[in-house]
Amino acid sequence: MRDQLRVLKHGLIASWTMFSAFQTWKTWTFMWLSRLLIQACFYALIGRMLGSQQQVDYLLIGNVVAIMAIDATVVILLAVGERQSGTLALMVAAPSTHLTVYLGRGLVNLGSGVAASTTAFLVLPPLFGVDLPWPKAGLIPLMIFVVGLSCYCYGTCVASFVLGFPSARWLALNFSYLVLMTFCGVNVPTSFWPDWLRAVTSVLPMTHGLAAIRAFVAGGPASTVLVQLGLEVCVGAAWIAVAAVSFNRMVRRGRRDGTIEFGG
């Protein structure tokens, strides 16, 4: 366990070094954060054009949570980039499981997503007349973190399958978070979809976590909120379990055929 934590710590340090090389507080605030806030405002304005405060509430809350998912799935780019740059073999040599190494690569982006989504929850609802249950609303960042962690596990799993196709990493990133935004209740209730598709969305991250946040904001029973958050944790655990198996298979195959160093 000590080796696992040490590798995770160094992965986090490396992630922060890369992140801070591209982002300062000014660029993060005025370029990245502002872009995400404008995106959430765009959908909230659609609700206002429909003349329904209920639609405004639904669209704003959904897209504020979706902000976090965009940042969390950036782990796909970071993980696949290691193979594209030829450093995968060095990472595999770390004294820990391969999954631990990759989990540390995007933790800063996960933190960025939680910070951006939390900021949006503080700034945007008053602008659009969305009532939050203060002071209990202070618990929302914790719920966002749970959803973000689940999305991060999902992104890590996607990365494990894309490692063999480094050139497809941007496609995989965009497709991954757009699937979440489309089917997980961000803009359209999951009840809109046919039963078979609803069954699929139930195993996607953000579906249950977003439902928990919506129930919390609406003043729903605590049992409903806790059950949905528990399901979100289970979904994240399932995705990370699949990622562990996939990473191990990729590493064994790469060692066997000599393709572990560079992607095609």
Residue 72 lies in a domain: yes
Contacts 24+ apart (CB under 8 A), 38-42: 39/63, 39/67, 40/64, 40/66, 40/67, 40/120, 40/124, 41/124, 41/127, 41/128
Output the pLDDT for position 82: 65
How many domains in the chain? Answer: 1
Q: What is the model's pTM?
A: 0.87
Q: Tokens 């992607």 appear where?
A: 263
Please determine, for residue 81, whether its predicted confidence score (pLDDT) is greater than 70: no
- Determine the structural domain holding residue 61 and report its residue range: 2-257
200 contacts 183 by C-beta, under 8 angstroms? yes
User: What span, in angstroms and rounded, lies between the C-alpha atoms of 16 and 116?
Assistant: 16
The answer to whether residue 256 scores a pLDDT higher than 80 is: no
- Segment 188-214 mean pLDDT: 94
In this predicted structure, the answer to whether residue 96 has a pLDDT above a threshold of 60 is: no
Rounded CA separation 209/145 (Å)? 10
Is residue 218 one of the residues assigned to a domain?
yes
Mean pLDDT is lowest, of 104-108, 186-190, 227-231, 243-247, for 104-108
Check residue 62 and give its pLDDT: 95
Residue 200: inside a domain, yes or no?
A: yes
Confidence tier at 164 by pLDDT (50, 70, 90): confident
For residue 91, what pLDDT is reported?
Answer: 59
Banded pLDDT at 75 (limits 50, 70, 90) = confident
More confident: 94 or 223: 223
User: Does residue 70 contact residue 36 with C-beta atoms inside 8 Å?
Assistant: yes
Omega of the bond leading into 205 within 30 degrees of 0 (cis): no
How many residues are given for the chain?
A: 264
Decide if 147 is inside a domain: yes
pLDDT at 90: 60
Q: Measuring CA to CA, which residue among 240, 261, 262 is closest to residue 103?
A: 240
- Tell me the average pLDDT across 161-174: 83
Give the count of beta carbons closer than 10 Å to the beta carbon of residue 145: 18
Asked, for residue 145, whether it belongs to a domain, the answer is yes
pLDDT value at residue 181: 93
